[in-house]
């Protein structure tokens, strides 16, 4: 199964030359022309970078998952790999789409499939709760993003990403620019776990490790970053846009950095560091400069390589020992030697040490901050958080494998080739690119950064830039990070004492919101769904009556009686019969008699259809009314007889007043229709188009079968389901069949 993403990866590699000069290739196919929606796809330097990461890491995830699920059933393995490949397709669709509606469809597919992957172990309550939380947060943010997309379409009359980028000035100058930017930010923040939506990503570590490595470290959570980076050249001049990204990214970095030290499990520590890394990317996008664009692209590449490798290694250690807490993992270096080597290599890149690609990306990070107009603030935050990342790198690479211990953790099984390919390859690429940065400088980094800036820029993506302030900051980070790694346990114990403070930084508000919603639903159900059908009907009738009365009163020149017109006595006779049937339905004591009397109204309606030249409608009405009378009569015959009214005299009087008020409003509404001018545009359209477009002479049938085909199908389905339910009621309870053992 890994051959599919591997083939995509090599096909994309072949496109590097075509985008190296900053060009963008767009292919489009008609989808919904009436709504200006096309299946359009755009390949430029930035989307190519993401597509290479998605397909390349997806290949390694598929291989890793094949070995990871060796102890599981074939069905579980197949289900997981199918979800992974489907998720890969959704992510590729998101980053390659050139139509905002198409992008949104793929965007929401990633949320839906990630829900299935996080909750893959459905028998675990933790997995179910985490999956639901991720779906609520990311899909909810997706709806906000969709509102922004719709507003873009309203403003520019297009959903094309390429055209939106070209008309950025027009969009920013519109009155809706602030609202659109806010919608885009919320959608991106929820997907990329930015404060205050940062809590869902660490909880999503309940997913199997291959899913964690793929969805929540290397690719999916960067889709929000991808969206912000893509729209940065659109909203960069909008007041407050860049400042919002810098502040939110910095807060996310600080919060997740502290929570990383406080975390317990191997995967949770890596997850918190991922949130901090996403905060770094959001902050870089907010800085808006050529150096910031290069730093953003470089950090995306470096983080994808070392973080996916670390998650692979964490999964191997947990899989081999059955122990998830980092404090309980000791002495694994001998039993898992290659995993230990891969962990160390990836951790060195995470710590930003030469000659790894992480060092180069960190140098550009500090350069972008020093060149910004923010002065010292982002630099201080970056130093603190990167020092925590150095501490995390030291802890996860040394303590589980080489920390002195008298009782090594028991290893149930050793390493397998399938679980080593991914981490070794990614760790190797990290050092290879660090030693030979020219491999990616002109082929990947420069085209991606140029696509972000909207102009061709030169990139000197190198390992050594001399004795610079950036190098001094890197040294400071390593020193502070080493102290954090050495005193990790002491700092961890001290932070563990502040549960109340850190609960405010977690998902406490989310849980409170969910609990409050459920409590409100319970209260509303208790108040409204009280089991009294008469009260339900009364509320509906009263609401409709009040709404109609308010509408009539608010109309200044309202009229409902025709000044002239001929009286057709045959129609009056039928109407009189229908009125008598309605009155009889309300007065008779027998339910069967009431049902028969109400049937007069339905059959009278059929006669009126016939008298007005609509025999097909009349036959339909007769068939439906007959079926209704027969079915309800059969049901009523099975009900126990009732000797007296279940309602008191006062209740019946109130019902009568409500019924009369409702009848009066309906009469006034129908009478007003008769004297109002009729808009014949729809009638004329269907009359002219029925034969030409649908080849039918009966306009009503054409409307039902062609123009409203989906509605008609839904109505047929409703009738079919109702028939099945009625048949079940008529059959009565099933008889218990006893069998001999």
CA-closest candidate to residue 134, choices 152, 150, 154, 114: 114
Please state, rounded to an integer, the average pLDDT across all residues of the chain: 87
CA 260/CA 270 separation, integer angstroms: 7
pLDDT for the residue numbered 483: 92
pLDDT for the residue numbered 631: 79
pLDDT for the residue numbered 204: 84
Mean pLDDT of the 173-178 span: 92
pLDDT band at 563 (very low <50, low <70, confident <90, very high): low
Which run of H or E residues covers position 402?
A: helix 377-402
pLDDT for the residue numbered 564: 59
Could you read off the pLDDT of 335-388 as tens digits, one per residue? 899 999 999 999 999 998 988 998 888 888 888 888 877 768 888 898 999 999
Q: What angle do CA 134, 136, 137 make, to 5 degrees?
A: 65
| Domain contains 438 | yes
Other Cβ atoms less than 10 A from the Cβ of 590: the count is 12
Other Cβ atoms less than 10 A from the Cβ of 199: the count is 23
Percent of the chain at pLDDT > 90 equals: 36
pLDDT for the residue numbered 536: 86
Reply yes or no on whether the pLDDT at 183 is more than 80. Answer: yes
Mean pLDDT of the 392-420 span: 86
| Domain contains 226 | no
| Domain contains 124 | no
In Å, how far from its chain's centre is CA 673?
44
- Do 550 and 404 fall within a single domain? no
| Domain contains 454 | yes
Reply yes or no on whether the pLDDT at 562 is more than 70. Answer: no
Total domain count for the chain?
A: 4
Q: Tell me phi and psi for residue 558, to 5 degrees.
A: -75, 135
Higher pLDDT, 645 or 429: 429
This model's pTM is above 0.85? no
CA 630/CA 361 separation, integer angstroms: 77
- Do 616 and 631 fall within a single domain? yes
Could you read off the pLDDT of 527-559 as tens digits, one per residue? 777 777 888 888 899 999 999 888 888 877 666
Q: Among 378-387, 399-408, 515-524, which stretch is predicted with the lowest mean pLDDT?
A: 399-408
Other Cβ atoms less than 10 A from the Cβ of 169: the count is 9
| Domain contains 143 | no
pLDDT band at 646 (very low <50, low <70, confident <90, very high): low
Buried b or exposed e, range 551-569, using 16+ CB within 10 angstroms:
eeeeeeeeeeeeeeeeeee
- Do 592 and 683 fall within a single domain? no
| Domain contains 21 | no
pLDDT for the residue numbered 733: 66
- Do 728 and 593 fall within a single domain? no
Mean pLDDT of the 173-199 span: 92
Mean pLDDT of the 318-343 span: 88
| Domain contains 138 | no
Reply yes or no on whether the pLDDT at 625 is more than 90. Answer: no
Reply yes or no on whether the pLDDT at 405 is more than 90. Answer: no
Could you read off the pLDDT of 23-43 as tens digits, one per residue? 788 898 888 887 778 899 999
Q: What angle do CA 564, 570, 572 make, to 5 degrees?
A: 60
CA 606/CA 620 separation, integer angstroms: 8
Reply yes or no on whether the pLDDT at 81 is more than 80. Answer: yes
- Do 250 and 288 fall within a single domain? yes
Residue with tokens 């190198």: 462
Mean pLDDT of the 632-651 span: 72
Could you read off the pLDDT of 212-261 as tens digits, one per residue? 888 766 567 889 999 999 999 899 889 999 999 999 999 999 999 999 99
| Domain contains 547 | yes
- Do 548 and 411 fall within a single domain? no
Q: What is the DSSP string of 197-216?
A: STTHHHHGGGS-HHHHHIII
Task: Specify which of 276-285, 464-473, 595-604 reaches the highest per-range mean pLDDT.
Answer: 276-285
- Do 591 and 725 fall within a single domain? no
pLDDT band at 732 (very low <50, low <70, confident <90, very high): low
pLDDT for the residue numbered 347: 93
Could you read off the pLDDT of 149-161 as tens digits, one per residue? 999 999 998 999 9
- Do 476 and 600 fall within a single domain? no
DSSP reduced 3-state for 28: strand
Is the distance from CB of 204 to CB of 130 less than 8 angstroms?
yes
pLDDT for the residue numbered 696: 87
Could you read off the pLDDT of 579-599 as tens digits, one per residue? 898 888 888 877 778 888 888
Reply yes or no on whether the pLDDT at 736 is more than 60. Answer: no
Longest dimension (CA), the chain: 106
DSSP reduced 3-state for 123: coil
- Do 350 and 461 fall within a single domain? yes
pLDDT band at 642 (very low <50, low <70, confident <90, very high): low
- Do 684 and 552 fall within a single domain? no
CA-closest candidate to residue 101, choices 169, 152, 163, 171: 152
pLDDT band at 560 (very low <50, low <70, confident <90, very high): low
- Do 534 and 624 fall within a single domain? no
Is the distance from CB of 322 to CB of 430 less than 8 angstroms?
no
- Do 410 and 481 fall within a single domain? yes
Contacts of 459 (CB under 8 A, 6+ apart): 294, 441, 442, 445, 446, 449
Reply yes or no on whether the pLDDT at 211 is more than 60. Answer: yes
Q: What is the DSSP string of 523-541?
A: HHHHHH-SS-HHHHHHHHH
Buried b or exposed e, range 504-541, using 16+ CB within 10 angstroms:
ebbbeebeeeeeeeeeeeeeeeeeeeeeeeeeeebeeb
Determine the structural domain holding residue 606 and report its residue range: 580-640
pLDDT for the residue numbered 546: 92
* CA dihedral sign of residues 440, 446, 447, 453: positive
pLDDT for the residue numbered 7: 95
pLDDT for the residue numbered 504: 73
């Amino acid at each position: 199964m890994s051959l599919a993403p591997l083939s995509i990866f090599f096909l994309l590699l072949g496109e590097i030359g075509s985008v190296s000069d900053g060009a963008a290739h767009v292919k489009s196919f008609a989808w919904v022309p009436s709504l200006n929606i096309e299946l359009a796809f755009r390949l430029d330097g930035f989307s190519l970078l993401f597509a290479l990461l998605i397909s390349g890491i997806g290949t390694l995830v598929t291989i890793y998952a094949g070995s990871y699920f060796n102890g599981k059933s074939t069905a579980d393995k197949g289900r997981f790999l199918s979800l992974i490949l489907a998720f890969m397709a959704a992510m590729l669709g998101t980053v390659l789409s050139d139509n905002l509606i198409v992008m949104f469809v793929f965007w929401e597919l990633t949320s839906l499939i990630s829900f299935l992957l996080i909750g893959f172990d459905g028998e675990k309550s933790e997995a179910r709760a985490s999956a639901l939380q991720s779906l609520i947060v990311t899909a909810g943010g997706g709806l906000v993003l969709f509102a922004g997309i719709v507003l873009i379409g309203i403003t520019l009359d297009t959903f094309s990403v390429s055209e939106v980028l070209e008309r950025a000035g027009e969009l920013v100058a519109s009155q809706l620019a602030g609202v659109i930017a806010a919608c885009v930010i919320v959608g991106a923040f929820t997907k990329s776990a930015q404060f205050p939506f940062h809590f869902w990503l660490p909880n999503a570590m309940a997913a199997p490790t291959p899913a964690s490595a793929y969805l929540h470290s290397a690719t999916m959570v960067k889709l929000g970053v991808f969206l912000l980076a893509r729209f940065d050249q659109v909203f960069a001049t909008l007041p407050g846009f860049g400042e919002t990204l810098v502040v939110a990214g910095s807060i996310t970095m600080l919060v997740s950095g502290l929570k990383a030290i406080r975390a317990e499990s191997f995967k949770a520590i890596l997850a918190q560091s991922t949130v901090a890394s996403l905060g770094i990317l959001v902050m870089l996008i907010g800085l808006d400069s050529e150096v910031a664009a290069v730093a953003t692209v470089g950090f995306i590449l470096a983080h994808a390589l070392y973080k996916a490798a670390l998650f692979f290694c964490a999964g191997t250690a947990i899989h081999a020992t059955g122990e998830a807490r980092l404090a309980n993992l000791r002495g694994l270096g001998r039993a898992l030697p290659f995993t230990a080597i891969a962990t160390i290599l990836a951790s060195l890149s995470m710590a930003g040490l030469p000659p790894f690609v992480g060092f180069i990306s960190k140098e550009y990070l500090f350069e972008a901050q020093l060149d910004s107009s923010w002065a010292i603030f982002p630099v201080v935050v970056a130093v603190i958080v990167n020092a925590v990342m150095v501490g995390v790198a030291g802890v996860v690479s040394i303590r589980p494998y080489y920390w002195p211990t008298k009782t090594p953790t028991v290893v149930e099984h050793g390493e397998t080739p399938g679980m080593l390919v991914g981490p070794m390859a990614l760790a190797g690429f990290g050092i290879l690119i660090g030693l030979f940065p020219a491999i990616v400088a002109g082929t990947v980094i420069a085209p991606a950064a140029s696509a972000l800036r909207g102009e061709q820029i030169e990139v000197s993506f190198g390992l050594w830039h001399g004795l610079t302030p950036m190098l001094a900051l890197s040294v400071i980070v390593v020193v502070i990070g080493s102290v954090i790694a050495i005193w990790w346990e002491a700092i961890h114990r001290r932070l563990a004492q502040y549960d109340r403070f850190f609960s405010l930084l977690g998902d406490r508000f989310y849980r409170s919101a969910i609990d409050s919603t459920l409590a409100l639903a319970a209260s509303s159900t208790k108040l409204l769904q009280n089991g009294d059908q008469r009260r339900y009907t009364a509320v509906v009738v009263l609401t409709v009556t009040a709404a109609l009365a308010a509408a009539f009163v608010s109309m200044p020149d309202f009229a409902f009686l025709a000044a002239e017109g001929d009286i057709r006595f045959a129609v009056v006779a039928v109407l009189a019969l229908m009125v008598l049937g309605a009155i009889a339905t309300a007065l008779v004591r027998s339910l069967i008699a009431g049902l028969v009397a109400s049937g007069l109204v339905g059959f009278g309606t059929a006669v009126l259809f016939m008298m007005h030249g609509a025999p097909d409608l009349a036959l339909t009405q007769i068939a439906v009314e007959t079926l209704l009378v027969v079915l309800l009569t059969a049901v009523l015959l099975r009900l126990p007889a009732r000797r007296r009214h279940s309602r008191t005299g006062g209740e019946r009087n109130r019902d009568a007043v409500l019924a009369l008020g409702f009848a009066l409003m309906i009469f006034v509404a129908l009478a007003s229709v008769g004297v109002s001018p009729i808009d014949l545009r729809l009638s004329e359209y269907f009359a002219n188009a029925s034969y030409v477009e649908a080849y039918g002479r009966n306009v009503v049938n054409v409307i039902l079968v062609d123009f409203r085909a989906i509605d008609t199908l839904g109505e047929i389905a409703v009738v079919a389901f109702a028939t099945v339910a009625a048949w079940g009621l008529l059959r009565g309870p099933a008889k218990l069949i006893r069998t001999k053992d």
